[in-house]
Amino acid sequence: VLSWIHPETQAVIMRCSQPLVGMSGKRNKDDERYLDIIREANRQISKLTIYDARPNVNAVANKATGGGYEGEDAYPNAELFFLDIHNIHVMRESLKKLKDIVYPNVEESHWLSSLESTHWLEHIKLVLTGAIQVADKVSSGRSSVLVHCSDGWDRTAQLTSLAMLMLDSYYRTIEGFEVLVQKEWISFGHKFASRIGHGDKNHADADRSPIFLQFIDCVWQMSKQFPTAFEFNEQFLITILDHLYSCRFGTFLYNSESLRGKEKVTEKTLSLWSLINSEKSKYTNPFYTKELNRALYPVASMRHLELWVHYYIRWNPRIRQQQPNPVEQRYMELLALRDDYMRRLEELQITNNSKISNSSASSASPSQMMSQVQTHF
């Protein structure tokens, strides 16, 4: 399915699940022709670029269960690249290790080695690196790309949504980010109920995995590197994650649009976006500068990535809560002061215009007043 079209080159980002080639190398002529049509629609390229989010060895192993990847024989006009992003089980274990080092104790003496042993930031790096490759191929390479993992609703959603965030400034606004999550995650079938475990006490469930949390962490990493490029602030991202787990809103309930429709979620619950949009000033980045058509490429290096302390360690009772950024706090105060002055200025202008109108009316001659009310028959 189509995710995004480049407004200038018409190159596209498409997404799907893995081809079902199996051990026998089965082929689907309709699928092969469909990918050729996508390639031919962009006359600037000779080959379609396919990004498989999985490690190569995992893609090969999936052949045993009927899955696989695009072979050269069936797809001669495509280039295939593996992005080496691990599966949901590896990510789940990584988050468990991270939880163990941040709660209930934070061991200062071995903090860096403990953090490294979780491999959490390494996974963040791989996801960001993959998204950068997708975005760069579409923007600089002017090539249409197809992205998939195994099922098309986990790593695929991470890559397409992050690439779109890098390429399109609209998705860096509050409204645009809500649309991005609604489209690439909710509408395209990320299994929120299974991955989060809503209402399920079985914490050892093999389907649980922090895929959406990883995506939001990647967005936070980008916002740290480009502090003026995003309309939303850190609190916006934290609020989304809090209500990912709270079940207070219907936004992230169930595994698919079909189930949400069947359970009448939109009729029985409120949307998280309604809460956020009702108090936008709380979630607005005061340093935001609107820039159209500017692509953002974050540095996906371990030296530039950091643990999101305000999210992962905020409830640790032994860690003193950091005070708000004084520069940001003062900036917000100045913005509020500016808004107050602008409001007063508008009131003065309205009052002044009203006085001028009254003065003009009272000084008009009787003949002028008569001419204003004359009716022509």
| Active site residues per annotation | 149
**Is residue 4 a known part of a binding site?**
no
Tokens 């009272």 sit on residue: 362
Strand partners, 321: none
∠ CA(192), CA(195), CA(196), 5° rounding? Answer: 80
Q: Annotation-wise, does 52 bind a ligand?
A: no
Question: pLDDT at position 368, please?
Answer: 52
188-207: buried (b, 16+ CB within 10 Å) or exposed (e) per residue? bbbbbbbbbbbeeeeeeeeb
Contact between 103 and 73 under an 8 Å Cβ cutoff? The reply is no
Domain residue extents for the chain: 2-333
3 state SS for 183-232:
HHHHHCCCCHHHHHHCCCCCCCCCCCCCHHHHHHHHHHHHHHHCCCCCCE
Q: Is 120 helix (H, G, I), strand (E, B) or coil?
A: helix
How many CB atoms sit inside 10 A of residue 67's CB? 20
Query: Is 87 annotated for ligand binding?
Result: yes
Tell me the longest C-alpha to C-alpha distance in the chain.
Answer: 99
The stretches in the chain having pLDDT less than 70 are 320-325, 327, 360-377
What one-character DSSP code corresponds to residue 181?
I
Task: Tell whether residue 143 is among the known ligand binding residues.
Answer: no
Token representation of residue 69? 């990847």
Structure-block tokens of residue 230:
């995003």
CA–CA separation, 171 and 177 (whole Å): 5
Tokens of 93: 């274990």
CB-based burial of residue 361 (10 Å sphere; 0-12 exposed, 13-18 middle, 19+ buried)? Answer: exposed
pTM for the full model?
A: 0.86
First to last CA, the chain: 66
186 labelled binding-site residue: no
- AA letter at 274: S
* Joined tokens for residue 107: 């061991």
